[in-house]
Amino acid sequence: MNQPVLQHFSYDPFDPDVMADPLPYYRRLRDEHPVYYIDKWDTYALSRFDDIWQVLGLTDGTFVASEGTLPAATVLEHHNDGPVADPPLHPMPFHANFDSPIYENVRRCTSAQFRPRSAATLTERIRTLANERLDELLPRGSFDLTQDYGGIVAASLVCEFVGLPVDLAPDVLATVNAGSLAQPGEGVEVGNARPGYLSYLTPIIERRRAAGADGSVPIADSLIGFRLPDGSEFTDLEAATQMLGVFIGGTETVPKITATGLWELAQRPEQLAAVRADLGGNVPVAREEIIRYCAPAQWFARTVRRPYTIHDTTLRPGQRIITLLASAARDEREYADPDEFVWNRPIERLLSFGHGQHFCLGVHVARLEITIMIQEFLRRVPDYRIAADQASRPPSSFQWGWNNIPVEV
Instruction: Write the pLDDT tens digit of every residue in 380-397.
Output: 999 999 999 999 999 888
Neighbouring-strand partners of residue 392: 404
137 lies in a domain?
yes
Q: Residues 72, 73, 78, 80: what is their CA dihedral angle, to the nearest 10 degrees?
A: 50
Return the higher-pLDDT residue of 277 and 399: 277
State the first-to-last Cα distance of the chain, in angstroms, to the nearest integer: 29
Q: Please report which helix (H) or strand (E) contains residue 328, including its range.
A: helix 325-328
- For residue 43, the model assigns a pLDDT of 98
Q: Which residues 6+ apart lie within 8 Å of 84 measured at CB? A: 64, 66, 67, 303, 305, 318
Does 22 sit behind a cis peptide bond, omega within 30 degrees of 0 on the bond before it?
no
78 lies in a domain?
yes
- For residue 180, the model assigns a pLDDT of 67
- For residue 72, the model assigns a pLDDT of 86
Q: What are the tens digits of pLDDT across the range 307-333? A: 999 999 999 999 999 999 999 999 999
- For residue 357, the model assigns a pLDDT of 87
Return the higher-pLDDT residue of 100 and 288: 288
**Is the pTM above the cut of 0.75?**
yes
Half-sphere exposure of 240 (CA within 13 A, CB side): 22
As a whole-number percent, the residues of the chain with pLDDT over 70 amount to 94
| Span 113-137, average pLDDT | 95
Q: pLDDT at residue 213 above 70?
A: yes
Q: How confident is the model at residue 182 (pLDDT cuts 50, 70, 90)?
A: low
Mean pLDDT of the chain: 93
Q: How many domains would you assign to the chain?
A: 1
Return the higher-pLDDT residue of 249 and 153: 153
- For residue 191, the model assigns a pLDDT of 44
Identity of the residue numbered 170: P
User: Nearest 5 degrees, angle CA 396-CA 178-CA 259?
Assistant: 70
Distance of alpha carbon 91 from alpha carbon 371, whole angstroms? 39
206 lies in a domain?
no
Q: pLDDT at residue 366 above 90?
A: yes
Single out the residue of 100, 126, 130 nearest to residue 113, CA to CA.
126
Single out the residue of 362, 352, 369, 345 nearest to residue 258, CA to CA.
369
Q: How confident is the model at residue 99 (pLDDT cuts 50, 70, 90)?
A: confident
Q: Please report which helix (H) or strand (E) contains residue 408, including its range.
A: strand 406-408
Distance of alpha carbon 321 from alpha carbon 309, whole angstroms? 12
Q: What are the tens digits of pLDDT across the range 221-237? A: 999 999 999 999 999 99
377 lies in a domain?
yes
Distance of alpha carbon 377 from alpha carbon 131, whole angstroms? 8
- For residue 189, the model assigns a pLDDT of 46
| Span 57-83, average pLDDT | 93
Distance of alpha carbon 24 from alpha carbon 16, whole angstroms? 14
- For residue 7, the model assigns a pLDDT of 57
Q: How confident is the model at residue 102 (pLDDT cuts 50, 70, 90)?
A: very high
Neighbouring-strand partners of residue 386: 407
Task: Decide if 367 contacts 309 (C-beta within 8 A).
Answer: no
Task: Decide if 259 contacts 405 (C-beta within 8 A).
Answer: yes
User: Nearest 5 degrees, angle CA 26-CA 30-CA 35?
Assistant: 105
CATH number at residue 29: 1.10.630.10
402 lies in a domain?
yes
Which range marks the domain in which residue 71 is found?
16-142+251-408
| Span 283-311, average pLDDT | 97
Across 82-103, b (16+ Cβ under 10 Å) vs e yields eebeebeeeebbbbbbbbeebb
| Span 39-47, average pLDDT | 97
Q: How confident is the model at residue 3 (pLDDT cuts 50, 70, 90)?
A: very low
As a whole-number percent, the residues of the chain with pLDDT over 90 amount to 84
179 lies in a domain?
no
Single out the residue of 163, 140, 139, 136 nearest to residue 153, CA to CA.
136
Lowest mean pLDDT among 4-13, 172-181, 269-278, 350-359: 4-13
Between the alpha carbon of residue 276 and those of residues 248, 288, 299, the distances in Å are 31, 16, 33
Task: Decide if 409 contacts 384 (C-beta within 8 A).
Answer: yes
Q: What are the tens digits of pLDDT across the range 15-30? A: 999 999 999 999 999 9
Alpha carbon 264 to its chain's center: 20
Q: In degrees rounded to 5, what are phi and psi of residue 338? A: -65, -20
Q: How confident is the model at residue 183 (pLDDT cuts 50, 70, 90)?
A: low
Q: Could you count the other beta carbons within 10 Å of the beta carbon of residue 53? A: 17
- For residue 4, the model assigns a pLDDT of 46
Distance of alpha carbon 222 from alpha carbon 213, whole angstroms? 8
Q: pLDDT at residue 5 above 50?
A: no
Q: pLDDT at residue 112 above 90?
A: no
386 lies in a domain?
yes
Distance of alpha carbon 31 from alpha carbon 38, whole angstroms? 17
85 lies in a domain?
yes
